[in-house]
Amino acid sequence: METKWLKDFLVLSELGNFRLAALQRNVSQPAFSRRIQALEAWIESPLIDRSSRPSQLTAAGRLFLPVAQKIIDTVKAGKADVKTQFLQEKEKIRFSTLGTIAQIFMPVWLRSLQPFTDVDQFVVNTEYVGFASHFSALEHSDVDFFIGYLDPRIKMRQDETLFPSLLLGKESLVPVCASHKNGEPRWWLQDKQTESISCLHTFPDNSPWPIKFHMETKYSDLDFKSVYNSSTGTTLKAMAIEGFGMAWLPRTLVAKELKSGQLVRAAERADDILVEIRIFRCLNNNEHRVAHFWNALRKQANLESKNSQARIAHDSAA
């Protein structure tokens, strides 16, 4: 059974004339008649009394008429729902990022973009592990953008011509831990201690947390024992407060706890890791919504650059 047969039947039941119904359905009368016959064969009962002028519905036709109308209405409604949901999904901007960036950076950042874009639907995925998986998701258009912490001292392995990036902001990762009762930190990295240091990170290659390089270069003589790992900074912070280990966490995330004494520094300020918050796209994804959003980011970046230069010029003149 085909839905066009049902539409033919509904038009014929209204007009009572095969020729006029065929014209309205934009098919030849013989083709229209064959389609009505095909519907009757499927129903296994005659639906049209062809002996009367105008033609009338048979008893079976009268029973089937509301059924046919309901089927057509259901199909139309289903099509409209799917189309609406598809269009809404196409309008969304999809990000992959770390849980910490999603929590402490993206809400304020997205609000700052409102003067530059009318996009108001976003999907944020924090389930990817490692740079490789984030860039693979970009390349296969599973996400539209990746936002990550980047240590500018570490050369990215990805093709910069295929994966261009924009600077969104800067952050510092602060080494923190809980303190003893006397207020002293439980671990102090400058002590060059011989015992293992409980650490709330694991350090796989290509990790989106740019900590491994820092530890392997500056603290190669220390023994770090990984006791817990999460891509979400609030979870790492909670574990650090409970004394499970030390961690490098974004300054904006731990500023309140450092001030209250819930957390203390595990090293000097010079050991903070200065990182860039960058957003990447893949040029293979040339959908209009992605290009439009990227252009909005560039406009915002250009405006902020001009404002920064103006402030520097004003300060110099003063």
Q: Which one has a higher pLDDT value, 113 or 89?
A: 113
Q: With 70 as the cut, is the pLDDT of residue 205 above it? A: no
Q: Which residues contact 184 (CB under 8 A, 6 or more apart)?
A: 264
Instruction: Output the pLDDT for position 259.
Output: 94
**Could you give the CA distance from residue 42 to residue 6 in angstroms, rounded to a whole number?**
11
pLDDT in tens, 30-88: 999 999 999 999 999 999 998 888 889 999 989 999 998 999 888 888 877 776 665 55
- pLDDT band for 226, please (50, 70, 90 cuts): confident
Instruction: Output the pLDDT for position 312.
Output: 43
Q: Mean pLDDT, to the nearest integer, of 214-230?
A: 84
How much is the pTM? 0.66
Instruction: Classify residue 27 by its DSSP letter.
Output: S
Reported as type and span, the H/E element at residue 150 is strand 145-150
- pLDDT band for 212, please (50, 70, 90 cuts): confident
Q: With 60 as the cut, is the pLDDT of residue 180 above it? A: yes
Is the domain spanning 93-310 CATH 3.40.50.300? The answer is no
Q: With 70 as the cut, is the pLDDT of residue 93 above it? A: yes
Instruction: Output the pLDDT for position 303.
Output: 75
Structural domain boundaries in the chain: 3-90, 93-310
Compute the radius of gyration of the chain from its Cα atoms: 33
List own/partner pairs for 33-42 with CB under 8 A and 24 or more apart.
Answer: 35/4, 35/5, 35/8, 36/5, 36/8, 36/9, 36/12, 38/2, 38/5, 39/1, 39/5, 39/6, 39/8, 39/9, 42/1, 42/5
Q: With 70 as the cut, is the pLDDT of residue 318 above it? A: no
Cα angle 256-123-292, degrees, rounded to a multiple of 5: 110
Q: Mean pLDDT, to the nearest integer, of 226-238?
A: 84
pLDDT in tens, 270-294: 889 999 999 999 999 888 888 889 9
Q: Do domains 3-90 and 93-310 have the same CATH topology?
A: no
Mean of pLDDT over the chain: 85
Q: Which two tokens stand for residue 206?
A: 């290509």
Instruction: Output the pLDDT for position 86.
Output: 57
Strands 122-125 and 48-49: unpaired
pLDDT in tens, 98-149: 888 998 899 999 888 888 887 778 899 988 888 889 999 999 999 999 999 8
Hey, which CATH number is domain 3-90, 1.10.10.10, 3.40.50.1260, 3.40.190.10, 3.40.50.360? 1.10.10.10
Instruction: Output the pLDDT for position 313.
Output: 45
For CA atoms 192, 197, 203, 207, the dihedral sign is negative
Q: With 90 as the cut, is the pLDDT of residue 311 above it? A: no
Q: Which two tokens stand for residue 306?
A: 């001009």
Q: With 50 as the cut, is the pLDDT of residue 208 above it? A: yes
Q: With 60 as the cut, is the pLDDT of residue 317 above it? A: no
